[in-house]
Amino acid sequence: MTNTALLLNLIDRYNALAYTHEYIFGFVFCGNVYFTHTEADILPTILSLDKASRGQGMALRFCPTKDIKAALMPNATLLCSKEYFEEQVASSKYNKGEIFEKMVTEWHGKKWHKDTVPFTQDGDLTVGKTAYQVKFEKATFTNEKILAKLERA
């Protein structure tokens, strides 16, 4: 299977299991942190394959290039400066993805709390009646081993 075919296969399998097909993606661009709301149809153009750890096959990741970030900018919203974001991460026990999720949740007027709800059961943030998966750059969506396990369940 080619890398493109494998990428599309993993995205299709992920979408078949996902609770929501709405996303909020975050990224650093020109010294600031931005976020944008998207739908699943954009996934093939912004996700990439990477080797998963310890025999778990290939992973589906959001690692946007400069060109992808530039393409997302017309619909992006400024969240904060990169410096402020990094200060928040440094002063917290949470990682970049969790801090991004917290800041976006609070930007939407909601209270954030750390949870471990699987992507098959709910989104990370619900605004109105729309549930979103929230992903910051370098985020892993899933990998081949996880998908195979969920498909057998």
Please tell me the pTM assigned to this model: 0.94
Distance CA 28, CA 144 (A): 28
Give 131: exposed, middle or buried? Use CB within 10 Å, 0-12, 13-18, 19+: middle
pLDDT tens per residue across span 11-22: 999 999 999 999
Q: What is the pLDDT of residue 96?
A: 97
Q: Is the pLDDT of residue 1 over 80?
A: no
The residues near 43 (Cβ < 8 Å, ≥ 6 apart) are 11, 14, 15, 23
Q: What is the pLDDT of residue 153?
A: 78
Q: Mean pLDDT, to the nearest integer, of 39-48?
A: 96
Q: Name beta bridge partners: 135.
A: 25
pLDDT tens per residue across span 50-69: 999 888 999 999 999 999 99
- Residue ranges of domains in the chain: 3-152
Q: What is the pLDDT of residue 53?
A: 87
Residue 26's CB is within 10 A of a number of other CB atoms, namely 27
Q: Mean pLDDT, to the nearest integer, of 89-96?
A: 96
Distance CA 58, CA 8 (A): 12
Q: Mean pLDDT, to the nearest integer, of 110-130?
A: 94
49: enclosing H helix or E strand: strand 48-51
Q: What is the pLDDT of residue 55?
A: 86
Q: Mean pLDDT, to the nearest integer, of 80-99?
A: 97
